[in-house]
């Protein structure tokens, strides 16, 4: 397979960094807003929920999906591959888990709160569903953000050595030589 040249890799890296900024910046913004916001009226609850949803829809989701696509391009058209290095494998696993958790757990809490606040208005203050969703968004959104920040550390430090594909074969050969 033909690989990208140096100029193509530079443009790919720029796009990767921009999308990572969207994803991580959106997660940080959402966490700060969720943890510090103190809406008190039905209208404030709706606007607060809608702001969280907008951050999710316009920063986090495009940043995450874009990074998955960029990762696929890196895997196919560069020397990095998909699972050639342990640190890349860890990033792939964490990325897929993050996206699935965000899609099927956090997303419904965030979108559900917009719907609850819009439908119930002031009455949302007397129910527990909205506040449960918000508390779960605060807790798990912070966990997600922390994991995203760990991507920066993993990408810069590349803490695990390269996988040794032939390592097991070499060990067997060494045992046979005894």
How far apart (Å, rounded) are the C-alpha atoms in residues 15 and 89? Answer: 21
User: Is 67 in a helix, a strand, or coil?
Assistant: helix
Name the token pair of 49.
Answer: 């929920």
Interacting residues of 108 by C-beta distance below 8 A, sequence separation 6+: none
Distance of CA 155 to the CA centre of its chain: 14
165 secondary structure, DSSP code: T
- List the chain pLDDT tens, one digit each, 178 residues: 788 999 999 999 999 999 999 999 999 999 999 999 999 888 999 999 999 999 999 999 999 999 999 999 999 999 888 889 999 999 999 999 999 999 999 999 999 999 999 999 889 888 899 999 999 999 999 999 999 999 999 999 999 876 655 555 445 444 555 5
Q: What angle do CA 139, 142, 145 make, to 5 degrees?
A: 155
How far apart (Å, rounded) are the C-alpha atoms in residues 112 and 130? Answer: 8
The pLDDT, as a whole number, for residue 80 is 87
How far apart (Å, rounded) are the C-alpha atoms in residues 63 and 26? Answer: 9
Largest Cα–Cα distance in the chain? Answer: 79
**159 phi and psi angles, rounded to 5 deg:** -70, -20
- If one counts every other C-beta atom within 10 angstroms of the C-beta of residue 122, the result is 11
Domains in the chain: boundaries: 6-176
**pTM exceeding the 0.75 threshold for the entire prediction:** yes
The pLDDT, as a whole number, for residue 139 is 97
The pLDDT, as a whole number, for residue 169 is 46
CB 1 within 8 A of CB 76: yes
């Amino acid at each position: 397979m033909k690989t990208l040249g140096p100029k193509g890799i530079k443009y790919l890296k720029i796009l990767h960094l921009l999308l990572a900024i969207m994803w991580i910046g959106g997660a940080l913004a959402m966490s700060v807003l969720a943890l510090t916001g103190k809406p008190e009226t039905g209208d404030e609850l709706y606007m607060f929920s809608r702001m969280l949803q907008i951050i999710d829809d316009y920063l986090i989701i495009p940043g995450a999906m874009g990074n998955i696509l960029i990762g696929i391009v890196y895997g196919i058209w560069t020397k990095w591959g998909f699972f050639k290095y342990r640190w890349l494998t860890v990033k792939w696993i964490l990325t897929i888990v993050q996206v699935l958790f965000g899609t099927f757990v956090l997303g419904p809490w965030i979108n559900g709160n917009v719907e609850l606040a819009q439908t119930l208005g002031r009455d949302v203050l007397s129910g527990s569903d909205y506040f449960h969703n918000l508390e779960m968004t605060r807790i798990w959104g912070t966990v997600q953000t922390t994991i995203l920040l760990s991507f920066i550390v993993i990408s810069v430090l590349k803490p695990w050595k390269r996988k040794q594909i032939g390592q097991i074969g070499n060990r067997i050969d060494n045992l046979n030589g005894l």
